[in-house]
Amino acid sequence: MRIIPKFKSSFKLKIKAALGKDEKIFIIGKNKTGTTSLKEVFKSLGYIVGNQAKAELLIDEYEREDFDSILDYCDTAEVFQDIPFSMPDTYKHLYKKYPNAKYILLERESPEIWFNSLLRFHQKLVNNGNPITANDLKNFEYRKKGFLWQSAQIVYGIDETTLYDKDTYIQKYNSYNQEVKEFFKDKNNFLSLVLSHQDTAEKLAVFLDRKVADIKIPHLNKSS
């Protein structure tokens, strides 16, 4: 009898927990910093990765500051990335419950590269690579209607006049990264990474107590 994947993962997680070998790893870098690539690294290492679709639908709970629901979701896997884990202040609530978890902040080579990647990705996703408007985002179906508009408002504080304003987005990106680094500055369970740097595999291997040869970093979403 074939085991349904989600039940297989749940069973595996329970076994790990019973043996005291389960871990929690939170990738808290902004979307479009390489979170998908790093997720694949952890999958290849045998970690149980959270269901991204279910996690992203917790955006309403985040907006209501219902972090208990987000923390409950963390019982379902070992590795988590993107919304709501990349959103302001989530990491603080995670740290209260999981002070011994590992936290990874991903960054791009520069804020400008990050912004251009985000913009291209949204244009490709929503309007075949063409410029997009606030109404496009409000009506676009991703997870649910208006998800991209809702998340942009929450994360970047935009309105119809500041949608994809480069300075606004980069200011939020920089301030978030600075706040995260300040919060974790004296903690040894935190790592800041730029995936394209040559020493990334070595740093990640040391952080995870793995062999460098085990760390295979794919380069996903190159077009974005």
Domain-embedded: residue 221:
no
190 φ/ψ angles, rounded to the nearest 5 degrees: -130, 140
**Does a structural domain hold residue 44?**
yes
pLDDT at 15: 59
Q: Please count the structural domains in the chain.
A: 1
Q: Give the model confidence (pLDDT) of 149-159 as tens digits.
A: 999 999 999 99
**In angstroms, how far is the first alpha carbon of the chain from the final one?**
40
Q: Give a yes or no: residue 220 inside a domain.
A: no
Give the Cα separation of 135 and 163 in Å (integer).
11
We report the CATH number of the domain holding residue 77 as 3.40.50.300
Torsion of Cα atoms, 30 then 220 then 44 then 10, to 10°: 60
- The rounded distance, in Å, linking the Cα atoms of 51 and 162 is 31
Residue range 53-103, pLDDT digits in tens: 999 999 999 999 999 999 999 999 999 999 999 999 999 999 999 999 999
pTM over 0.85: yes
pLDDT at 19 > cutoff 50: no
Give me the chain's average pLDDT, please: 91
pLDDT at 218: 80
Evaluate if residue 1 carries a pLDDT over 50.
no
Find all residues with CB under 8 Å of 64, minimum gap 6, and list them.
Answer: none
45 domain-assigned: yes
- In a domain, residue 223? The reply is no
Tell me, yes or no, whether 190 lies in a domain. yes
pLDDT at 17 > cutoff 60: no
222 part of a folded domain: no
Residue 149, domain extent: 5-214
Whether the predicted pLDDT of 224 surpasses 50: no
Cβ-based neighbours of 29, under 8 Å, separated by 6 or more: 35, 81, 86, 104, 105, 106, 107, 177, 193
DSSP H or E segment with residue 46: none
Task: Indicate whether 184 belongs to any domain.
Answer: yes
3-state secondary structure of 122: helix
Closest CA to 13 of 23, 1, 26, 25: 23
- Give pLDDT, residue 9: 61
